[in-house]
């Protein structure tokens, strides 16, 4: 059930491959909703503002299961949980394009949220446990495979829209591909659960306890706006392009694939950069590039080629932030499943509140809210990044020890 130290060399590659394939499947769902949002509006007879609640239901499933699952990963073999999560994700993905009632879509998105939480938190946590202090390149590599999956879905949807084929059939095929992945991961041995170095801080009275939760709040606000920025791109970029009159519906779906190609390029480069640069320094560069490049959505709307270049650059920079954010947090505090549970809960609040809010603004103000929303969020993320790094320049345990 658990990986024994004497068998570590034998199993480390098969386990890593399992996580890579899992994240390809996770990428399928990560880019599915944005390109089909207009078709879902037609099939359910609802407006974009009502469909924006789909993001809320996904996040309710994610957040509602976060703290429970974090405790399960600290107690039970993680690969068993991930295998079940992949199976749930495959079934939910197959249902997504074949449901015409709004309440059923809400239910599907709720279960997608639970499955996404199991996979996202599980693979990121177990990858750190598996590789320990050498996790940096592998954390970035697993997100490269997420990008591969994320490129696949909008491309298939774009082809379906262009040919008049069934979107639902394409999603069923993608869901079916996850069944063998689920079985493979389920029967792999799981990385051993480390001692929870953060628990001592969390359970302390006084300065240590306050430091832990103050740190988690600042880190959480940074994560919320950082993830909110990426979710704005993945959820509403097709709507901005299509509703703003820049492209037709099928081309907007293809442009979403350009964003994910950028993510793939950025995350591939991150595998190498993470061996040469400290995570906090790399995060600073990624935030600044995303901020500067995002002005392209303001100034280049009449030049489709420059919009394509903007999308590619923003994809490369923003898509590389999440794994390096986890490595930056790991610099400051021991990453137990419980700490990861808090981190991923804040992450999902960002992916819940932001797409829902922007959906309401799209309905009220039109597609031009997109550039402003991106710039506000990335600026807020950069602000909290600066606060976090200046307030906690060293590991939290050292800061707390000095305070005590």
Distance CA 183, CA 181 (A): 6
| pLDDT higher than 90, residue 357 | no
Q: Where are the domains of the chain?
A: 5-403
| pLDDT higher than 90, residue 19 | yes
Distance CA 163, CA 168 (A): 14
| pLDDT higher than 80, residue 42 | no
Q: How many CB atoms lie within 10 A of CB 157?
A: 28
**Mean predicted confidence (pLDDT) in 115-124:** 90
Q: Please tell me the predicted confidence (pLDDT) of residue 64.
A: 81
Q: How confident is residue 71, by pLDDT bands cut at 50, 70 and 90?
A: confident
Distance CA 7, CA 189 (A): 10
| pLDDT higher than 50, residue 404 | no
| pLDDT higher than 60, residue 204 | no
**Mean predicted confidence (pLDDT) in 22-38:** 82
**Mean predicted confidence (pLDDT) in 270-299:** 89
Please, what CATH class does the domain formed by 5-403 belong to?
A: mainly alpha
The 8-class DSSP code of residue 189 comes to P
Q: Please tell me the predicted confidence (pLDDT) of residue 177.
A: 92
Q: Please tell me the predicted confidence (pLDDT) of residue 14.
A: 93
Q: Please tell me the predicted confidence (pLDDT) of residue 75.
A: 84
- Whether 285 and 278 have beta carbons less than 8 Å apart is answered as no
Distance CA 349, CA 225 (A): 9
Distance CA 302, CA 304 (A): 6
Q: What is the pTM of this model?
A: 0.74
Residue that wins the pLDDT comparison between 209 and 60: 60
pLDDT, mean over the chain: 83
Distance CA 144, CA 159 (A): 23
| pLDDT higher than 50, residue 403 | no
Q: Please tell me the predicted confidence (pLDDT) of residue 215.
A: 86
Distance CA 52, CA 142 (A): 29
Q: How confident is residue 196, by pLDDT bands cut at 50, 70 and 90?
A: low
- Whether 374 and 226 have beta carbons less than 8 Å apart is answered as no
Q: Please tell me the predicted confidence (pLDDT) of residue 293.
A: 92
């Amino acid at each position: 059930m658990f990986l024994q130290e004497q068998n570590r060399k034998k199993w480390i590659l098969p386990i890593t491959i399992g996580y890579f394939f899992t994240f390809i499947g996770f990428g399928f769902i990560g880019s599915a909703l944005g390109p089909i949002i207009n078709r879902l509006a037609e099939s359910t007879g609802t407006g974009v503002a009502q469909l924006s609640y789909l993001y809320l239901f996904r996040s309710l499933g994610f957040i509602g299961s976060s703290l429970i699952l974090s405790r399960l990963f600290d107690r039970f073999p993680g690969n068993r949980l991930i295998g079940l999560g992949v199976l749930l994700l495959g079934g939910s993905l197959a249902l997504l394009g074949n449901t015409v009632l709004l309440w059923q879509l809400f239910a599907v998105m709720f279960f997608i949220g639970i499955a996404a939480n199991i996979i996202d938190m599980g693979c990121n946590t177990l990858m750190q446990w598996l590789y320990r202090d050498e996790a940096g390149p592998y954390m970035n590599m697993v997100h490269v495979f997420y990008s591969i999956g994320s490129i696949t879905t909008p491309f298939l949807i774009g082809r379906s829209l262009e040919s008049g084929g069934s979107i639902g059939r394409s999603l069923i095929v993608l869901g079916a591909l996850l069944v063998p992945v689920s079985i493979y991961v389920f029967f792999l041995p799981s990385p051993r659960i480390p001692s929870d170095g953060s628990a001592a801080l969390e359970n302390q009275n006084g300065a240590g306890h306050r430091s832990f939760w103050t740190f988690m709040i600042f880190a959480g606000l940074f994560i919320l706006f950082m993830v909110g920025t990426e979710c704005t791109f993945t959820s509403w970029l097709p709507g901005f392009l299509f509703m703003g009159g820049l492209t037709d519906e099928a081309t907007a779906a293809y442009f979403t694939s350009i964003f994910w190609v950028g993510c793939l390029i950025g995350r591939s480069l991150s595998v190498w950069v993470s061996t040469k640069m400290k995570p906090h320094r790399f995060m600073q560069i990624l935030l600044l590039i995303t901020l500067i490049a995002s002005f392209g959505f303001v100034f280049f709307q009449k030049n489709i080629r420059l919009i394509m270049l903007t999308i590619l650059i923003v994809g490369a920079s923003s898509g590389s932030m999440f794994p390096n954010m986890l490595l930056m947090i790991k610099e400051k505090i021991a990453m137990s499943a419980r700490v990861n549970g808090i981190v991923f809960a804040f992450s999902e609040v960002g992916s819940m509140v932001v797409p829902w809010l922007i959906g309401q603004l799209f309905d009220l103000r039109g597609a031009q809210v997109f550039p402003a929303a991106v710039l506000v969020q990335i600026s807020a993320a950069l602000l909290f990044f600066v606060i976090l790094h200046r307030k906690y320049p060293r590991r939290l345990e050292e800061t707390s020890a000095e305070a005590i």
